[in-house]
Amino acid sequence: MDKRFKPAAVQAISRKLVWWRDECGHVYQMAVLGRARAKPGCCPYCSGRKRPERPIRLD
């Protein structure tokens, strides 16, 4: 079964966890409610609120 849905089918107050790709390129999971209330461009990785799950190798 396809678990994708259209954005118009979800209310801004939904606590459903969905995947987001921010303008900076980071991908993260957050509730629709939290993302709707967040400031534009407020990536949890770029703002320091969340650490990457895997260490980033700098070669």
Q: How many Cβ atoms are within 10 Å of 28's Cβ, its own excluded?
A: 15
Q: Provide the pLDDT for residue 45.
A: 83
How confident is the prediction along the chain (59 residues), in pLDDT tens digits per residue?
A: 456 777 788 888 888 888 888 888 888 888 988 888 877 767 888 887 777 666 556 55
With 0-12 CB in 10 A as exposed, 13-18 as middle and 19+ as buried, what is 1?
exposed
Whole-number Å distance between alpha carbons of 59 and 13:
42
Q: Provide the pLDDT for residue 1.
A: 47
The CA-atom distances, in angstroms, between 44 and each of 3, 54, 58 are 25, 15, 21
Q: Provide the pLDDT for residue 18.
A: 87
Q: Provide the pLDDT for residue 53.
A: 67
Whole-number Å distance between alpha carbons of 11 and 58:
40
Q: Provide the pLDDT for residue 41.
A: 67
Q: Provide the pLDDT for residue 26.
A: 85
